[in-house]
Amino acid sequence: MEVVNLYKANAAEITDVLCEAFYDYPVMKYVLGEKDDYDNRLHNLVGFFVANRALRKEPMFGIYNSEKKLVAAAIVTLPEVIPQPEELIKIRENLWTKLGSDEQKRYEAYGKAASGLLPKDPHHHLNMIGVRPAYKGQGFARKLNTAVEQLMFSHQTSSGLSLNTEVESNVNFYLHLGYKLVGQTNVDNNFETWGFFKLK
């Protein structure tokens, strides 16, 4: 099972994978809060994350199983600033109308804390990388990370590759992959985020 490029047409598949992979993730629980209908609200939030990359035509990678089902995915932000398409602005407005203003404030608080740990020079950022629980432990996350690294190394102006994690057990995994821990902070006194960077 090899890594393949994914596109806007794959957005629904990517969203499905990442919803499953991040179902109990601290960021999702924090942003969405304790309201009912968690599954649908999570799908809307993750769908926005995916649309943010897909509509800007930024890199997205995936791995399919032998039954042609997407089982792992990663989405990436490029070093250069890409203007928001009109469609994305509408999706963003609709998202916070559905989820609520408190949820938007918590999302922005997380974003400020997480981005504050990372280098300011232009670089690639690994937004999300996830594997369906049934396929964990098979090296898929490592394969996806390698694909993202290759993209970064081939880019003329990128200074490196960054990412954040909010799960402490992931820290040693990323250190093992060659990332440097560049910062750690509490997010609104609810949970911690760790920032990593791999220099080009």
Give per-residue pLDDT as tens, 109-133: 999 999 999 999 999 999 999 999 9
Cβ atoms of 3 and 143 within 8 Å: the answer is yes
Please tell me the distance from the alpha carbon of residue 76 to that of residue 70, in angstroms, as a whole number: 17
Share of residues in the chain with pLDDT > 90 (%): 98
What CATH class does 3-199 carry? alpha beta
Residue type at position 118: L
Please tell me the distance from the alpha carbon of residue 17 to that of residue 74, in angstroms, as a whole number: 10
Q: In angstroms, how far is the first alpha carbon of the chain from the final one?
A: 27
Q: Where are the domains of the chain?
A: 3-199
- Please tell me whether the overall predicted TM-score, pTM, comes out greater than 0.85 for this model: yes
Tokens of 22: 């991040």
Please tell me the distance from the alpha carbon of residue 95 to that of residue 76, in angstroms, as a whole number: 21
pLDDT digits (tens, 9 = 90+) for 11-62: 999 999 999 999 999 999 999 998 999 999 999 999 999 999 999 999 999 9
